[in-house]
């Protein structure tokens, strides 16, 4: 995820674009850049860091001009540094691009361009795209719009791009597939704004066009915008919308809180986590960092997972995944304990460090300790170029995009997605998972985003349940097997944002103590999906009901047995048991969210917590 802000018109472009970028920083903030055109002069400034760092540089520089494109980056290809920051120029220096998204086949295109004499300054997929556009333009001696269109027909991936030619500073070409782009239109087409959302231009115009996937627009000063379909060139009649939202609502995508927005982003973030890795059409899983170390993985004696908080819960799900699908023994450790207890690590062990931020001090220390003991350390991080991503031997990014809410939501489901892909791949290569089962799991995984979407539709139902239990002083969460870690995660979510005391347990542990807590005031959230020790969990539910506890059950769609006993049921679609955490966790996130809102808590910034815990 990155933010794009651009301006073409009669005003000074710089203040509009720089303020716009600051509003878009929720989309990514590891580097920033801006290109300005003043008459025939172009100036380009980019830096690692936040938009405020870019502003400092700009203080000493020329900020004149009526055309500008700016970018705030969330790294996907190449670490955050000055060179990898956007905007990027083509080899001739004439074409400029800003890009939000991922070009999956950039490596193949890059190799071809290199054989034809192109050179690259950055590690980005974006620089490859702008040079591809340039090559098409030169070869066909065509207009920029046509060159962009032709180039885009040969890329695979997701993008929102804005491109211009410095010799024609009255025109910007934008295109979209997968990533958002809005165009603000000034009176009589005297000015145009281009941005990832409408926040950069809300005070200048309320007229906006949101491009649809596979559409491109040719924006020319003083002319009506022309939109066409990228693939078949069909003309599209521009649909100009009247913006009604205010600034804050726009930044949060219309949601009241970042947490809610991030919960709702999960269908997309799961796709982003497996994009280019899960090749459902060929029944394959491709992951460079695993493929390049495959003998290490296949010969591993055991996997040791180190992490904290929600990432530790994702590690627990991974324990079930690796043991069940690939028959590799796994130990999951709190990074904070691991680092201080002289752990036994052998050279044939693989240590996997899981961290959304990639900056958690305890996990980073655990990585360093494991490395010092000779272990091969694999990172599963979200933030590209973060300390843990750099310190580990190799790894796989989750590509969840920035997670702003302190409570981890999409980080959890994308971590599980990435770890499930690794487990499936190893299971198949080790002969533990037949080709047909492997293929079945791959197909099933490709259906998960739509199933998450289905669960999210129960939002209102869950809000009603939240209203009933918002004043409960305590709460219990129960699950078994793959859903035991989900119970822990549900309890953590409730604790951290609503300040209600909550505990998660394996359902069968109830009788060893916690059942003493059950009375008519105790809400118990039970994950009782069809394939997961269902009968045993049903018995646990009976035991709770016999003591007048209140049951909120997460069940498989169509369940009738639990519906008879429970006070409330929330249905999730059927899937392989190994993938149920990707679905069962969603209602628990929503339940915590609504309870916290109803209790008047600061959902995105709960008390005493921080997003990156960089202290011990």
Which stretch in 58-66, 261-269, 406-414, 422-430 sits in contact with ligand M6R by CB under 6 A?
406-414
Options 158, 325, 407, 596; binder of ligand M6R; rule CB under 6 A: 407
21 vs 351, beta carbon nearer ligand M6R: 351
Residue 367: which of 295, 418, 296, 308 has the closest Cα? Answer: 308
Window 473 to 502, contacts with ligand M6R (CB under 6 A): 492, 496
Cα(353)–Cα(523) distance, integer angstroms: 34
Q: Is there a contact between 135 and 144 (Cβ–Cβ < 8 Å)?
A: no
Q: Is there a contact between 541 and 525 (Cβ–Cβ < 8 Å)?
A: no
Options 408, 428, 540, 580; binder of ligand M6R; rule CB under 6 A: 408
Residues 6+ apart with CB under 8 A from 564: none
Question: Cα–Cα distances in Å, from 63 out to 37, 57, 83, 506?
Answer: 9, 11, 21, 60
Cα(62)–Cα(60) distance, integer angstroms: 7
Options 19, 22, 149, 355; binder of ligand M6R; rule CB under 6 A: 355
Residue that the structure tokens 């299971």 belong to:
427
Residue 51's SS3 state is helix
Q: Is 613 in the site for ligand M6R (CB under 6 A)?
A: yes
Structure tokens belonging to residue 615: 């202290």
With CB under 6 A as the rule, give the number of residues binding ligand M6R: 17
Instruction: Catalytic residue, from 229, 371, 530, 611: name it.
Output: 611
Residue 562's SS3 state is helix
* Least separation in angstroms between CB 580 and ligand M6R: 20
271 vs 492, beta carbon nearer ligand M6R: 492
* Least separation in angstroms between CB 487 and ligand M6R: 15
Cα(456)–Cα(581) distance, integer angstroms: 14
Q: Is 406 in the site for ligand M6R (CB under 6 A)?
A: yes
Window 261 to 320, contacts with ligand M6R (CB under 6 A): 308-311
Window 496 to 535, contacts with ligand M6R (CB under 6 A): 496
Residue 565: which of 552, 577, 556, 576 has the closest Cα? Answer: 552
Which stretch in 200-208, 561-569, 580-588, 605-613 sits in contact with ligand M6R by CB under 6 A?
605-613
* Least separation in angstroms between CB 314 and ligand M6R: 8
* Least separation in angstroms between CB 170 and ligand M6R: 45
Q: Which helix (H) or strand (E) holds 536?
A: helix 534-546
Q: Is 386 in the site for ligand M6R (CB under 6 A)?
A: no
Structure tokens belonging to residue 601: 């808590």
Active site residue 381: no
Active site residue 2: yes
310 vs 498, beta carbon nearer ligand M6R: 310
Q: How far is C-alpha 156 from the geometric centre of its chain's CA atoms?
A: 19
Options 357, 417, 483, 498; binder of ligand M6R; rule CB under 6 A: 357
Instruction: Catalytic residue, from 2, 308, 381, 601: name it.
Output: 2
Q: Is 243 exposed, middle or buried (CB count within 10 Å of its CB: 0-12, 13-18, 19+)?
A: middle
Catalytic residues: 2, 611
Instruction: Give the binding site for ligand M6R (CB under 6 A).
Output: 308-311, 355-357, 360, 363, 406-408, 492, 496, 609, 612-613
């Amino acid at each position: 995820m990155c933010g794009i802000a651009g301006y073409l018109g009669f005003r000074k472009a710089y203040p509009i674009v720089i303020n716009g970028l600051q509003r878009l920083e929720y989309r990514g903030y590891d580097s920033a850049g801006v290109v300005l055109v003043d008459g025939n002069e172009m100036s380009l400034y980019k830096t690692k860091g936040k938009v405020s760092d870019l502003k400092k540089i700009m203080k000493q520089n020329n900020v004149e001009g009526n055309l500008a494109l700016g970018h705030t980056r969330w790294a996907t290809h190449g670490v955050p540094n000055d060179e990898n920051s956007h905007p990027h120029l083509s080899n001739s220096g004439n074409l400029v691009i800003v890009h939000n998204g991922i070009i999956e086949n950039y490596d193949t295109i890059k190799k071809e361009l290199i054989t034809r004499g192109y050179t690259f300054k950055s590690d980005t997929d974006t620089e490859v795209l702008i040079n591809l556009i340039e090559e098409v333009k030169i070869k066909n001696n065509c207009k920029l719009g046509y060159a962009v269109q032709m180039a885009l027909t040969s890329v695979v991936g997701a993008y929102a791009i804005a491109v211009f030619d410095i010799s024609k500073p009255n025109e910007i070409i934008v295109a979209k597939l997968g990533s958002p782009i809005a165009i603000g239109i000034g009176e009589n087409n005297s000015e145009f704004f281009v941005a990832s959302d409408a926040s950069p231009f809300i005070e200048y115009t309320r007229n906006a066009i949101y491009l649809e996937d596979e559409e491109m627009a040719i924006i020319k000063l003083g002319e009506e915008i022309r939109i066409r379909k990228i693939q078949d060139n069909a003309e599209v009649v521009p649909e100009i919308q009247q913006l009604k939202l205010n600034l804050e609502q726009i930044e949060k995508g219309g949601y009241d809180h970042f947490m809610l927005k991030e919960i709702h982003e999960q269908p997309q973030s799961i796709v982003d986590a497996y994009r280019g890795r899960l090749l459902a059409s060929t029944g394959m899983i491709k992951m460079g960092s695993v493929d390049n170390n495959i003998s290490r993985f296949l010969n591993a004696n055991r996997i040791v997972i180190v992490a904290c908080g929600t990432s530790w819960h994702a590690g627990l799900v991974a324990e079930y995944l690796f043991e069940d699908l690939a028959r590799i023994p796994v130990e999951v450790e709190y990074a904070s304990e691991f680092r201080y207890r002289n752990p036994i690590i052998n050279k044939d062990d693989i240590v996997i460090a899981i961290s959304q931020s990639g900056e958690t001090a305890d996990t980073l220390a655990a990585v360093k300790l494991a490395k010092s003991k000779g272990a091969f350390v694999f990172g599963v991080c979200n933030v590209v170029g973060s300390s843990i991503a750099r310190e580990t031997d190799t790894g796989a990014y989750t590509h969840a995009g920035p997670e702003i809410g302190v409570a981890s939501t999409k980080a959890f489901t994308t971590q599980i997605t990435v770890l499930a892909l690794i487990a499936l791949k190893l299971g198949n290569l080790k002969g533990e998972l037949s080709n047909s089962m492997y293929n079945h799991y791959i197909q099933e995984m490709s259906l998960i985003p739509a199933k998450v979407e289905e669960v999210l539709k129960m939002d209102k139902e869950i809000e009603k349940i939240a209203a009933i239990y918002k004043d409960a002083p305590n709460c219990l969460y129960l699950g078994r097997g793959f859903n035991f870690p989900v119970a822990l995660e549900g309890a953590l979510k409730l604790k951290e944002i609503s300040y209600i005391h909550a505990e998660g347990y394996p359902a069968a542990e109830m009788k060893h103590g916690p059942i003493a807590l059950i009375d008519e005031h105790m809400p118990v959230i039970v994950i009782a999906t069809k394939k997961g020790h269902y009968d045993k969990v049903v018995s646990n539910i009976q035991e709770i009901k016999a003591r007048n506890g209140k049951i909120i059950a997460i069940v498989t769609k169509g369940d009738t047995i639990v519906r008879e006993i429970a006070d409330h049921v929330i249905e999730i679609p059927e899937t392989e048991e190994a993938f149920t955490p990707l679905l069962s966790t969603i209602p628990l996130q929503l339940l915590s969210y609504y309870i916290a809102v109803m209790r008047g808590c600061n959902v995105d910034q709960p008390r005493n917590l921080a997003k990156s815990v960089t202290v011990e």
